Amino acid sequence: MGTRKIPESERFKGSSKWVQYVLARGLVSLLQTLPIGLVCKMGRGIGWLSWKFMSKRRAVVSKNLGVVNTWMEAQSSNNGSPSNDGEEALMAIDPSGMSSAKCNTPSAIHHHLSLPLETQVKEVFQRVTANLFSGLTFSRMSPEQMEDSLQIEGLEYLEAALSEGKGTIFILSHMGPWEALPHLPSFFDVRHDIQIKIGLMYRPLNNTYLDEWLKNQREASGARLFSRLDGFHKPVDFIRSGGVLFILADQKMREGPLASYFGVEVATSPIPGLFHRRSGAPMLTCSFATLAPTCWKLTVSPVAFPPDLDMNSRAALASTCNRALEQGLASSLCDGLWMHKRF
């Protein structure tokens, strides 16, 4: 007898998926009732436990950071820029050395280089969990509360892009409290007098119950979500209508054009470049950096496409996008999500 094929609609359902959904929903609901400072501390504590006991994942993070550190050291040598000393670097990532009253910091592409790799790995685990938990609390924040936790640099680039009337494409990495992104329209409107409609590309979770609930959570603030499985037409139409589409483009791809990423040739998503080519919309990048507990900086920068770039080449488009992602991650290395096998 042959094995019964499970319908796609039922593939990611079942009792175990239901239990996962109930537990995850309960955790998120709890986090949204707590002060963000406590949420951040809880996240760092759970991140420490994960670092302590998840040895295989720890090895993955160590390998990823080793590749990136080598690239950053080469960039430092080529640019002739000195790296900060160990004490200054530790202050940049250790919450015990950061004051919540100082919600500002200089861009520091080198500020992790003086730290031992083991220290960087542990900090990644702690920051990722703290950032994820904290990002989930933005759904219940007022614009005024968001302003207490979020600084934005480079808004003039967003305003310039919007003035072209072609929509805007953002590429970014999984870093900082990225779950805050769907809830930014009200913040931009009330605190910066910028009206935008936000869309996000996403990959559906392998748990139908949890995926549907999280999708509703993200869309509650007015954001539109576009599945990577649904093709190009809807997101491109959204961009052409003046929408601002965010694409998290740092995941490992099974296939795609090969492009250098931190000095290693990797399969890269062609989607951001193809959307840019099809829509004619300007492309920006943004990155998060932890400034202090419960305080982050969101930096917006333009993506520069060389005038002689072959726009018909997927590899050339992917390489340009990767350069932008590299700079964002290098500006705050330990805020990146390095748990997956990227290299």
The answer to whether residue 312 is domain-embedded is yes
The yes-or-no verdict on residue 28 having pLDDT over 80 is yes
% of the chain at pLDDT higher than 90: 72
| pLDDT tens string 155-182 | 999 999 999 999 999 999 999 999 999 9
Domain count, the chain: 1
Q: For 109-137, what is the mean pLDDT?
A: 87
The answer to whether residue 244 is domain-embedded is yes
| pLDDT tens string 284-328 | 999 999 999 899 999 999 998 999 999 999 999 999 999 999 999
Q: For 146-151, what is the mean pLDDT?
A: 94
* Rounded-to-integer distance, Cα 299 and Cα 256, Å: 28
Q: For 88-116, what is the mean pLDDT?
A: 49
Q: State which residues form the domain around 64.
A: 15-335
Assess contact for 271 and 279: CB atoms under 8 A. no
pTM for the full predicted model:
0.87
The yes-or-no verdict on residue 48 having pLDDT over 80 is yes
| pLDDT tens string 202-229 | 988 888 999 999 899 889 888 999 998 8
Chain centroid, CA 244 distance in Å: 16
The answer to whether residue 9 is domain-embedded is no
The answer to whether residue 341 is domain-embedded is no
* Rounded-to-integer distance, Cα 72 and Cα 83, Å: 10
Cα-flanking dihedrals φ and ψ of residue 170, to 5°? -110, 130
The answer to whether residue 3 is domain-embedded is no
3-state secondary structure of 193: coil
